[in-house]
Amino acid sequence: NFQGIDLQQLEDENLDARLSAMRTTMITHQLPDGRRLLDLLEPAFGPTGQQVVLVRYLISYDSIDARM
């Protein structure tokens, strides 16, 4: 649940490096209210091996804990 969270405020000084990594990268963001978000970047490749898209998932640790 991301209500009330300004996702534009997520700071990642390594974002440029993560975008060009050509592999899955993950970091954890600490939110002002103490909760955490897992920030996952996953590249997807076409049949020629060229990267065609990069997908960013923001996953609340709240939802991870609820599944365990």
Nearest residue to 32 via CA among 9, 64, 8: 9
Q: Considering its fold, how many domains does the chain have in total? A: 1
Q: Which domain holds residue 43?
A: 7-67
DSSP string, 6-40: -GGG---TTHHHHHTSSS-EEEEEEPTTS-EEEEE
Residue 47 resides in a domain = yes
Q: Is residue 54 part of a domain?
A: yes
Question: b/e map of 20-51 (b: 16 or more CB within 10 Å)?
Answer: eeeeebeeebeeeeeeebebebebeeeeeeee
List pLDDT tens digits, range 22-46: 899 999 988 888 788 899 999 999 9
pLDDT digits (tens, 9 = 90+) for 2-28: 777 777 777 777 888 988 888 999 999
In a domain, 53, yes or no: yes
Amino acid 23 reads R
Residue 25 domain flag: yes
> Residue 61 domain-assigned?
yes
In a domain, 19, yes or no: yes
